[in-house]
Amino acid sequence: MTIKIYKFINAESGNDDKRLKVSADDTAAGFLEEKLVVAETTNATEILALTTLNGGSNEQRQIGIDETKIDHDVLTNFVDNEHINHATVDIATGADSGLAGGGDITTTRNIEVDIAGTTQETSIEDIDELLIEDVSATAKRKVTREDFLDGYVRSTTRPVTTRSVPVYDGTTGDFIDETGVTIDASDNVVIPGNLQVDGTQTIFNTEIVDIEDANITVNKNGNQSVANSNTAGLTIEMSDASDVVFGYDSSTTSRMKVGDDGDEREIATISHTQTLTNKTIDGTSATGTNTVTTDANDVTYNNSTSGLTATDSQAAIDEVEDRLDTAEATLSDHLDGGTSKHDATEIDYERIDGSKKNIQATSDEVESALTDLDDAIGALEATPTNYLPTDATIVSDHLSGIDTELGNLQDAIDLKQDDVITTEGDLVLGDDTGEEARLAIGASGTVLSSDGTTASWAVNPDERIKVSANDTTEKYLEEAIVVSSGSNSTEILELSTLNDAGDEDLQIQIDETKIDHDALTNFVSDEHIDHSAVEITTIADSGLTGGGDITTTRNLSVDITNTTEETSVETNDEILIYDTSASVLKKASVANILDAGRSEGDIIETSFSLANDTSVSADITGLAFANATVRSFKALLSVEIDATADLFEVFEITGIQRGSDWSISTSSNGDSSNVGFTITSAGQVQYTSADNPGFVSGLIKFRAITTSV
């Protein structure tokens, strides 16, 4: 039997609105847009997953998308260099790089110049380089230590011999000449010329002093009074005994004395007339070269207790002989040992203390004592003198397309409404024999169903669907739609029919490679910058080296060698220093660094214009010393007068503050500029000048060092 009419007329509540159920358990049929929903879900394995909502009730089929299953790294426009792990990229500052800080780029990192953390250099050479800020050029420059010092205390021309001591102009500071004085690496000083020391002390802390001079002068320019009061000579200092002095004493016959400091005694000489006291002359064993030779009448004899009148030994012997009634010519004749003579050991005499002693013993003692005296005198004469986001509306758009196609199907059916219908509400049925039969309109809620042989009105209990006209099996919505992920030709989501002309399924497939990474919700361009296009750069003369793009770890370090060479250093140029007391980096001017050891009142080089014919003392601006801080000063001044006769003179002024006033002394060299200097009680230096014919200008340049109160 063939149905020839395709539209029901007056079918009332018949099921011609194409509603469907999700499953056999669905209690309410609905349109596709009611039964198909989308949502963001957490899926077990897939990006898209199908689930049935409200099971056993008014069911819906949900297409859930799980954005956590989308592979970020395969999205369209994904760029490797925009997605480098920031924890693996460091801005590094290595040991002795001169920088500190840095770290990985997961957060903000600070980098700062690090002076305290670099290795300490204790042996600095002239070729070593410093990094400075050239204020006049507004640029960083490197400068050798040699040029750095030349910019303030040296000339720009240095001597060739690096170990020699140079001579500089006291006014300009320019290098004058190279001296022969050298200082080697061990601080040994060699002076080829003369050394004159004008101070009050010269101290040698040395173990050996070698002097070629055969005669050393002491007490030079001094008088006898000074020599006496200072015991001019030589003091031998000892830590464990009294010091010994060998010095001058004009009150002595020999003019010299020796002994413990404070207890010196006159030195006995060979031929001076001197009286020896507290001396024992032992001549008992005096023989040969140790013999003391003297005439008997030269030996003084004390006759106060002997009863003799003689005052010397010879006269005493003669007097004894007379008393013994003998007449020998000599003492040896008298003591010959003969029977008619007396043995010397047998002749006694009474001593001053009343004791008795023979002449032989006394003679031996005298001879020995004189020998000892001669030895002592010889010894004194030999004394030496050296000293990912997602958009569920995409799925909805595709499902709307399905709805549109169903609408087109309804329109096609509507075109059949002009077919001949014999009775309103009836259907005309016919078969291939040409016979027709009428089929009345079915009851509300019934549908026309065919078993392939007959057609009848019946209730459709399951509202199943087919995917297409070629689908061989009706099925519920949950069976008809499947989801997957895969490669689509053009779209992110694409619909396709599986098992065409068989038990078909409608497949919704997502292709994550078609998702535009840069078009996702919450995409921020500044969060996805190509790391290979971003660099840490160190430009010329920046004082840094290293860096590169941020695709990997980069090192930075202070770069002195490759900055532009600066050879003319000015006092206002700046150097980076580490303030140890404050534990912080700071900048300091060259002047401040070189003046670090200055007293508060010191004055760096300053210029002043002097006037012509200044008869009343006038202040030299800047050349003043505060009474509260300065005790003394030494100032160097150069005077230059441009006149018919140009004049140049250098002055050295020293001054001392005496509490209520100042006292100064002035010395000069060069032309006679007729410029005079005075100082007020407040410490202000003033000047006067003469009337110079053809005067154009006058200039005073000065600097000063001070000691504090």
CATH code of 654's domain: 2.60.40.1680
Question: Does 401 lie in the same domain as 349?
Answer: no
Backbone φ, ψ for residue 401 (5° rounding): -65, -40
The answer to whether residue 229 sits within a structural domain is no
* Per-residue pLDDT at 393: 64
Which neighbouring-strand residues pair with 509? 484, 494
Burial of 641 (0-12, 13-18, 19+ CB in 10 A): buried
Highest mean pLDDT among 339-343, 428-432, 539-543, 688-692: 688-692
Residues 618 and 651 in one domain: yes
In a 10 Å sphere around its CB, with 0-12 CB exposed, 13-18 middle and 19+ buried, how is residue 81 labelled? middle
Give the mean pLDDT of 367-383. Answer: 68
> DSSP state, 312?
B
pLDDT of residue 459: 58
Kind and range of the H or E run holding 365: helix 359-381
More confident residue, 205 or 432: 205
Q: What is the mean pLDDT of residues 7-32?
A: 63
Q: Which of 188-202, 533-547, 590-604 has the lowest mean pLDDT?
A: 590-604
523 falls in which pLDDT band (50, 70, 90)? confident
When computed from its CA atoms, the radius of gyration of the chain, rounded to whole angstroms, is 64
Contacts 24+ apart (CB under 8 A), 220-227: 224/250
- 549 vs 84, 113, 538, CA distance in Å? 12, 21, 12
- pLDDT for 54 equals 87
pLDDT value of position 1: 34
Question: What is the per-residue pLDDT for 477?
Answer: 81
Quote the percentage of the chain above a pLDDT of 90: 16
Cβ–Cβ < 8 Å for 544, 142? no
Would you place residue 136 in the very low, low, confident or very high pLDDT band (cuts 50, 70, 90)?
confident
Who has greater pLDDT, 188 or 446?
A: 188
Check whether residue 343 and residue 445 sit in a common domain.
no
| 467 and 404, same domain (yes or no) | yes
CA 489, chain centre distance (Å): 64
SS3 label, residue 75:
coil
What pLDDT sits at residue 159?
41
Higher pLDDT, 208 or 435: 208
Residue where a domain terminates, one of 359, 381, 403: 381
Measured distance CA(214)–CA(212) in Å, rounded: 6
Range of lowest pLDDT (272-286, 398-412, 506-520): 398-412
Cβ atoms of 260 and 248 within 8 Å: the answer is no
263 closest CA partner among 288, 290, 241: 241
Is 170 inside any structural domain? Answer: no
Same domain membership, residue 356 and residue 300? yes
Least confident of 400-414, 476-490, 552-566: 400-414
Note whether 455 and 505 are same-domain residues.
Answer: yes
Among 482, 512, 542, the domain-final residue is 512
Note the pLDDT tens digit of each residue in 353-372. 667 666 666 667 767 767 77
User: Is position 9 within any domain?
Assistant: yes
Higher pLDDT, 565 or 677: 677
Residues 504, 403 share a domain? yes
Model pLDDT, residue 418: 47
pLDDT higher than threshold 90 for residue 630: yes
Domain count, the chain: 3
Q: How confident is the model at residue 285 (pLDDT cuts 50, 70, 90)?
A: low
- Alpha helices by DSSP H, 3-131: 32-35
The answer to whether position 419 is within a domain reads yes
Classify residue 593 by its DSSP letter. H
Distances in Å between the alpha carbon of 660 and those of 624, 628, 663, 677, 680? 16, 11, 10, 19, 10
Helices (H), 183-300: 224-230
Q: What pLDDT sits at residue 383? A: 57
State which residues form the domain around 315: 288-381
Mean pLDDT of 556-566: 84
Listed residue (447, 440, 480) closest to 461, CA to CA: 447
Residue 395 is predicted with a pLDDT of 57
User: Which residue type does 284 have?
Assistant: T
Question: Does 396 share its domain with 489?
Answer: yes
> How far is Cα 618 from Cα 554, in angstroms, rounded to an integer?
64
Amino acid at 90: D
Residue whose entry in the numeric block shows the structure tokens 């409608």: 506
**Is pLDDT larger for residue 642 or for residue 521?**
642
The answer on pLDDT for 172 being more than 90 is no
Which of 248-252, 283-287, 630-634 has the largest mean confidence? 630-634
Of the pLDDT bands very low, low, confident and very high (cuts 50, 70, 90), residue 403 is confident
Reply yes or no on whether the pLDDT at 405 is more than 60.
yes
Q: Measure the CA–CA gap between 551 and 545, rounded to whole angstroms.
A: 18
User: What mean pLDDT is reported for the chain?
Assistant: 77
Residue 512: phi and psi, rounded to 5, are: -65, -20
Domain end (from 346, 381, 416): 381
The stretch 529-540 carries a mean pLDDT of 84
Answer yes or no: do 357 and 439 share one domain. no
- At 440 the pLDDT is 61
pLDDT band at 543 (very low <50, low <70, confident <90, very high): confident
| Per-residue pLDDT at 260 | 92
Q: In the predicted model, is pLDDT for residue 156 greater than 50?
A: no
CA distances from 425 to 6, 11, 126, 253, 431 (A): 13, 7, 118, 175, 20
Same domain, 470 and 368: no
Is residue 495 in some structural domain? Answer: yes
Please report whether residue 332 resides in a domain. Answer: yes
Looking at residue 65, its pLDDT comes to 87
- φ and ψ at residue 406, rounded to 5 degrees: -65, -35
Q: Mean pLDDT over residues 193-204, rounded?
A: 84
CB atoms within 10 A of CB 273: 6
Distance of alpha carbon 255 from the chain centroid = 66
Strands of 684-688's sheet in order across: 618-624, 684-688, 676-679
Q: Which pLDDT band holds residue 695 (cuts at 50, 70, 90)?
A: very high
Q: Picking from 124-133, 390-399, 571-580, 695-704, which range would have the lowest pLDDT averaged per residue?
A: 390-399
For residue range 326-354, what is the model confidence (pLDDT) as tens digits? 555 555 554 444 444 555 565 565 566 66
Whether residues 397 and 376 share a domain: the answer is: no
User: pLDDT at position 6, please?
Assistant: 36
Output the DSSP codes for 135-178: TTTTEEEEEEHHHHHHTTTS-SS--S-TTEEEEE-TTT--EEEE
> What pLDDT, on a 0 to 100 scale, did the predictor assign at position 297?
64
Find residue 577's DSSP bridge partners: 586
Are 432 and 499 within one domain? yes
Name the residue with higher pLDDT: 641 or 547: 641
Look at residue 238 and tell me if it is in a domain: no
pLDDT over 50 at 8, yes or no: no
Q: Which residue has the higher pLDDT, 504 or 672?
A: 672
At 388, the amino acid letter reads: L
Average pLDDT on 371-391 reads 58
Q: Which of 178-187, 295-304, 450-459, 513-522 has the highest average model confidence (pLDDT)? A: 513-522
- Looking at per-residue pLDDT, the higher value among 649 and 57 belongs to 649
What is the model's pLDDT at position 625? 96
Cβ within 8 Å of residue 349, ≥6 positions away: 306, 316, 320, 356, 357, 358, 359, 362
pLDDT at 702: 95
Q: What pLDDT shows up at residue 684? A: 97
Per the model's pLDDT, the better-predicted residue between 706 and 385 turns out to be 706
Q: What are the residues whose beta carbons fall under 8 Å from the beta carbon of 218, sequence distance 6 or more?
A: 232, 233
Token pair, residue 235, equals 């003091």
Task: Give the per-residue pLDDT at 495.
Answer: 84
Of 87-101, 245-259, 572-586, minimum mean pLDDT range: 572-586
- Give residue 670's pLDDT band: very low, low, confident or very high (50, 70, 90): very high
Residue 106, domain member (yes or no): no
The whole-number pLDDT of residue 687 equals 97
Q: What is the pLDDT of residue 460?
A: 58
**Strand-strand pairing, 60-65 and 48-53:** antiparallel
Among 160-174, 223-237, 309-323, 599-613, the minimum mean pLDDT is found in 160-174
